[in-house]
Structure 1
């Protein structure tokens, strides 16, 4: 986890290369701190080479050997003077080489112990080994391995030949991973004079540069060498306590103070300036309720707690604490926050393209993404075209335009005019939600999300739902469908989602009859004219995490398509009955453990929309896929027949490149066995990966959760967990779930210490939908994090029960 203490100023020291004077300059910093009577702590996480040459010994001797204010420590020591990953491999303790998580936890624990020991303002320096990308013990490069700690950084520049390039490259590597570089230190080499170039370079970027005289060439006589080095350090940190490294100390202390002051001021400034979405500002009690996110990494936010009255403000209490991102940041996260591969992909495309015009043009990231989505991804077997837009809501606007035009083109009337086309509507399900733009709103019934301009254009059926009620997997029928039998047992989760085997059941016949009657009624008496079927397959997210019976959605599609005179979708004649739109913005690309929902339902759409996971939570992008028959409705010799819809950032190269990188990572997980354990726990390992259902949440947890008195029902698929608190009928207006889970936000000291980055207890950030509580994982959330979150949820609900 990130660490920030009021009375412990910590900086991590990275080198632009090996042999750049990192230890010498760090020693001078430690010595300057000690001479200012500031307790100072030096940590060398990994040391390689003979003990007599160890950096921590050098620091302890030259910083101020007699001072009780200097503390030097090393966590992992290896004899071979080679790269840490190789030294670990060559040692006879290879079996004890820690993982990246254990390594970072050890560093974080040392920082915590240090903070607990201090009684007044202190300094701490964590010196890395070699260059920025030198490997750690596991082989992961340092810049990535240390990232969970997110410590403010000192970069020691390279004064040698080629040092300008290596220094700038190191700096950019740090920036790409979000590091805060507070200071650049380097030697004044009289021949190469890199400092003359690097000083203005970094100054223009707001980074302070201090250059120091270089040390002498090492002397052969040990006694003479020690005396000469002591004399050298006296010049860098003189007795007058001014100049040299004392300027560096003042600057670093100022950076530390300004960072805390900035974080202290953020809540009130936000409260005075920002208008949040989906938030009633009148219910915000005070600025202390604001979640100040200082950084994020993997599944966790690093939040500032210094403005919260409930948190003791003491020297040994970190002002930053980890918080599990329980909503996957509004369902966007797929592989965790700040994934370095995605940051590099974004930089790669930004550096090559920035943004470029797309109409009548193309570029590699967009073409690659379009081809993989159409031919290998969710469009495989039915789609022929990919249309790019900005986000899920605009992607749905595009889908609606496609479907309505296709319908109007195939169903002309003798007096075709604009009025008839404007009166076309859609068929959907109650509880659906397709975004907040006006057109997407109009594709939903009146509800809490709609605005004054809302003009719902369509008809919405009340869907049957699947849920786990006290250990039983049941389908709950709405009153409009059945008055006597309201619940039907469907066996296991696997049986509930085995659509093919349920097609000839009595429930399927009931669904066919219900849908046929509804369509007949609409044809005779309903205005507007229904022109498309729009569905959120399997789960309707914002409407309350409604797990729709997949059999009902399959029957609905079949009956709708059979109602037309044209041939079924996928054949030469294209779509039949009504164009079918799948809104897979939320559920697609493995959110539910499936790449796409079509194979499970046994039918493909004519149009589908994809976003959120598409770019791994890094930036917005949406793609609307369409069949060839839909595309042909717009294809003619007249420009007025074209799809006259677009966005300034259509096919944004940065978004497309990030999407391609995300899909590569996700597909590797899907096909590489990473999820096999979770699939096996849900008895899904023997089935087709395209149709079998399973969850990253454990079956035992779901069983315990479902049987709690306070929980009315629970459901899970893939990364998604949702449960209803009580039988509350207020829906979205209810605060029951929010209130019930409030204590989850606070860290629990007894939880497993290794489950969060840095090994610290963490709170859980969550969002609710009225009386529905939901939680979401990434596709690579470690099992120990899942288990810890599960135990926290159960403990919180048990407390309410007791």
Structure 2
């Protein structure tokens, strides 16, 4: 069986598709849907109206599509999966001897059926769900979750019975929380309870959604089938001709047209009204702006341009105006548990409903406290004792720098006003706020910012890549010259695997780190002789993100931290030092900051990227995956030793830093849910498939927790690494970075070497399974000549294989590869 294409949102210009949800079972979904079908057929006589039931349970003779066939034979009707047992679909499917579709298969079948209907020309398609909003699918997923990728607008059939008000509102809120557009609420006009009156006022005032009541059907005449049929036929004939049905369908028709018109105008309007980040807008035309209608899992649903839409004819299916786009940058490195994750949405709703936002100064609430405890336990860093909250990674870094510089100034009794910098790595970048920018050397991000003053020294460092048929550690030119040059002046050292490079304790024991230590020590002595002052060492563990997706030799970073800590005399003379009497984890040399905004929280396969280095930070900054991409939040964790530097009887000595939304409850609750979910995934072995593939490739016999693994297949990494146009590649955890060789002599951020492959990925992929399904593409970002792709923590093996296949095609299409 060919791989299933990613689920796509269903939107056609000519076919109006609406999904019929019910507030509960037995609320009249099929009766109301039949009425809608007949009315649409009558009012749009030249168009075709169709009915689709994805899953039905119970005897085939009593199925809903049979009801349509009996009372509306002019309507094309179909059921995709029918199970004889009249119970919940998950039970009926498991009890049957029939095929039980996965969620992906069910969505694919539904999409194909809808596309075939669209290919027949203008019309209507009503897709009726089974039971209530959360009734299970055959796989066990609730319907509300299952159908989210399709993003079909909804007609909610309310409950007109006793208790129906609550059921209807609850059903609506479940759909709303999952991002469904509920366009209308319909229910029977029941004389005794008159739920429609209350619900009309409620939805008008609370949500501006129209509620319309339709006449109740006649009572069933069980003992006389002919009379029963005649009564229902008269009911449908009358109700489908009513002015109310005309009003309902006209409203749905207008909503459909308005949605398309808005989508198709968004890029033009945005080009005139939006100031985009990291974009030279002089060259940004509307056709280059991606219109995102929704997102689910690893995929955006984006508006397909006329040049990329499939127009082949004749075709058994029609192309949706929307297509799936793999989110190749994890939405700027934030998305981990999938777009539209119901667990995270529910966590946000819970905190918003319980607290809203409450101020945090000298107060505490459970989400913040629980998050602080969970993070500290997960990081397993005995140095970290205190948690400070801020709103994003850049400000989290600024907090860390404030902490470190204060502690260093007090330790070494530096006079006020003296210029103090940080030690770091060349190309590192820690954020766009002014203080964070000053922690990086001059670069394209900051060199034209008027207030920028680079405050520090940035080491050259060896990088890790797969190239030339082997894994190598490449030494910078400055490390190959002078008194401390690598043995024989080598430009690189080769290793049998990435795991061998990350076996830093073995490498250290064999003496590999001595050269690094001597080179770093000599550099520090030179800086001290120049009278330079430094208040912190700040590094991004293992990988430099915005600096170009560069993997640093972990042994170098480990040695750098240890060498700085062992050379306190090079940074100043200790005035007072009582930390060790109260804290056996007191910092030495300089406070060490780990910026794990990008690399932390399982991005590279482990809870903390610091675990690869085998050394602990005094201050650690986390954001991005912290909330799974849902809301901004950052935490800066510090040691008790750092914390004590701010203790005083003078309030002005306190850490006077904060934000109105410090430790906001929604962010803390979402972060708590996000971290716990990823920890549970690790405990369940959700990534074992990737670990096993890596283990087989490297013949590793280490326990899985010590593995250096990636979701990107080793075979693919080796293939890419041998392309003539690729200078190097690496993959770790969920990240894949490909350095495309420059042909214009320009390297780094200003290079355009990766643009051709990026453009080929954006063009999209057309399936060859005979259905002529719409293309899906890969939405990616580049950092100069570095093309990087990022999966989420829930990305499946099948999705990875699909993206790898698309990457192979893209390199060939861009003329950057070989067959």
Q: 2:535 aligned with 1:535, yes or no? A: no
Q: 2:792 aligned with 1:778, yes or no? A: yes
Q: Could you say which residue in structure 2 is the equivalent of 1:479?
A: 477
Aligned ranges 1:242-281 → 2 under 5 Å: 243-281=243-281
Q: For residue 244 of structure 1, give the secondary structure of its aligned residue in structure 2.
A: helix
**Of 258-267 and 635-644, the range deviating more from structure 2:** 635-644
Q: Could you say which residue in structure 2 is the equivalent of 1:681?
A: 693
CA contact (8 A) 1:182 1:252 kept: yes
Q: Shift of residue 730 of structure 1?
A: 2.6
Q: TM-score, normalised by structure 2?
A: 0.93
Q: Shift of residue 691 of structure 1?
A: 4.0
Aligned partner of 2:716 among 691, 701, 706: 701
Q: Shift of residue 306 of structure 1?
A: 4.9
Aligned partner of 2:18 among 11, 15, 34: 11
Q: Could you say which residue in structure 1 is the equivalent of 2:619?
A: 607
Q: Shift of residue 568 of structure 1?
A: 9.1
Q: For residue 190 of structure 1, give the secondary structure of its aligned residue in structure 2.
A: coil
CA contact (8 A) 2:367 2:669 kept: yes
Q: 1:740 to 1:84 in 2, by over 3 A?
A: closer
1:758-797 deviation line (CA, Å, top 9, x unaligned): 9864100000000010000011111111011111111221
Aligned partner of 1:643 among 647, 651, 655: 655
1:608-633 deviation line (CA, Å, top 9, x unaligned): 00000110111110000101101111
Q: Shift of residue 573 of structure 1?
A: 6.1
1:221-266 deviation line (CA, Å, top 9, x unaligned): 111111111111122112xxx5031211111111100000111110
Q: Shift of residue 92 of structure 1?
A: 3.0
In 1: Cα distance, 2:677 partner to 2:747 partner: 41
Q: Could you say which residue in structure 1 is the equivalent of 2:404?
A: 403
Q: 2:806 aligned with 1:792, yes or no? A: yes
Q: Shift of residue 798 of structure 1?
A: 2.5
Q: Shift of residue 309 of structure 1?
A: 7.4
CA contact (8 A) 1:600 1:692 kept: no
In 1: Cα distance, 2:430 partner to 2:344 partner: 27
Q: Could you say which residue in structure 1 is the equivalent of 2:551?
A: 547
1:140-177 deviation line (CA, Å, top 9, x unaligned): 11101111111110000000000000000000000000
Q: 1:602 to 1:309 in 2, by over 3 A?
A: closer
Aligned partner of 1:34 among 25, 28, 41: 41
Q: 2:340 aligned with 1:331, yes or no? A: no
Aligned ranges 1:345-356 → 2 under 5 Å: 345-356=347-358
Q: Could you say which residue in structure 2 is the equivalent of 1:737?
A: 754
Q: 2:681 aligned with 1:664, yes or no? A: no
Q: 1:82 to 1:331 in 2, by over 3 A?
A: same
**Of 305-314 and 658-667, the range deviating more from structure 2:** 305-314
In 2: Cα distance, 1:465 partner to 1:319 partner: 44
CA contact (8 A) 1:98 1:138 kept: yes
Q: Could you say which residue in structure 1 is the equivalent of 2:293?
A: 294
Q: TM-score, normalised by structure 1?
A: 0.94
Q: Shift of residue 514 of structure 1?
A: 0.8
In 2: Cα distance, 1:371 partner to 1:122 partner: 56
Q: For residue 785 of structure 1, give the secondary structure of its aligned residue in structure 2.
A: helix
Q: Could you say which residue in structure 1 is the equivalent of 2:572?
A: none
Q: 2:107 aligned with 1:109, yes or no? A: no
In 1: Cα distance, 2:777 partner to 2:16 partner: 24
1:81-129 deviation line (CA, Å, top 9, x unaligned): 2211121122233xx211111111111121122222x13x200000001
Q: For residue 124 of structure 1, give the secondary structure of its aligned residue in structure 2.
A: strand
Q: 2:620 aligned with 1:619, yes or no? A: no
Q: 1:569 to 1:337 in 2, by over 3 A?
A: farther
CA contact (8 A) 1:741 1:797 kept: no
Q: 1:661 to 1:265 in 2, by over 3 A?
A: same
Q: Shift of residue 673 of structure 1?
A: 1.2
Q: 2:246 aligned with 1:233, yes or no? A: no
In 2: Cα distance, 1:571 partner to 1:733 partner: 47
In 2: Cα distance, 1:316 partner to 1:598 partner: 50
Q: Could you say which residue in structure 2 is the equivalent of 1:157?
A: 158
CA contact (8 A) 1:569 1:606 kept: no
Q: Could you say which residue in structure 2 is the equivalent of 1:445?
A: 441
In 1: Cα distance, 2:765 partner to 2:672 partner: 38
Q: Could you say which residue in structure 2 is the equivalent of 1:726?
A: 741
Q: Shift of residue 570 of structure 1?
A: 11
In 2: Cα distance, 1:430 partner to 1:309 partner: 40
Q: Shift of residue 360 of structure 1?
A: 0.7
Q: 1:500 to 1:518 in 2, by over 3 A?
A: same
CA contact (8 A) 1:620 1:655 kept: yes
Q: 2:782 aligned with 1:768, yes or no? A: yes
Aligned partner of 1:655 among 667, 677, 696: 667
Q: For residue 379 of structure 2, give the secondary structure of its aligned residue in structure 1.
A: coil
In 1: Cα distance, 2:637 partner to 2:208 partner: 45
What are the ranges of 5 or more consecutive residues in structure 2 without an aligned counterpart? 1-7, 482-488, 570-576
Q: Shift of residue 408 of structure 1?
A: 0.6
CA contact (8 A) 1:753 1:760 kept: no
In 2: Cα distance, 1:157 partner to 1:507 partner: 71
In 1: Cα distance, 2:564 partner to 2:62 partner: 78
Q: 1:520 to 1:689 in 2, by over 3 A?
A: farther
Q: For residue 353 of structure 2, give the secondary structure of its aligned residue in structure 1.
A: helix
In 2: Cα distance, 1:333 partner to 1:30 partner: 40
Aligned partner of 2:562 among 549, 558, 561: 558
In 1: Cα distance, 2:34 partner to 2:559 partner: 73
Aligned partner of 1:428 among 413, 424, 446: 424
Q: Could you say which residue in structure 2 is the equivalent of 1:714?
A: 729
Q: Could you say which residue in structure 1 is the equivalent of 2:486?
A: none
Aligned ranges 1:336-375 → 2 under 5 Å: 336-374=338-376
In 1: Cα distance, 2:722 partner to 2:151 partner: 41
Q: 1:454 to 1:147 in 2, by over 3 A?
A: same
1:724-763 deviation line (CA, Å, top 9, x unaligned): 1114543110111012331111221136899xxx986410
In 2: Cα distance, 1:435 partner to 1:671 partner: 33
Q: 1:569 to 1:81 in 2, by over 3 A?
A: farther
CA contact (8 A) 1:712 1:726 kept: yes
1:463-513 deviation line (CA, Å, top 9, x unaligned): 111111122111111111114311111331111011111114454222111
In 2: Cα distance, 1:201 partner to 1:573 partner: 59
CA contact (8 A) 1:305 1:311 kept: no
Q: For residue 602 of structure 1, give the secondary structure of its aligned residue in structure 2.
A: coil
TM-align CA RMSD:
2.0
CA contact (8 A) 2:539 2:594 kept: yes
**Of 309-318 and 214-223, the range deviating more from structure 2:** 309-318
Number of residues paired by the alignment?
Answer: 780
**Of 98-107 and 305-314, the range deviating more from structure 2:** 305-314
Q: For residue 172 of structure 1, give the secondary structure of its aligned residue in structure 2.
A: helix
Q: For residue 98 of structure 1, give the secondary structure of its aligned residue in structure 2.
A: coil
Q: 1:60 to 1:662 in 2, by over 3 A?
A: same
Q: 2:64 aligned with 1:55, yes or no? A: yes
CA contact (8 A) 1:379 1:625 kept: no
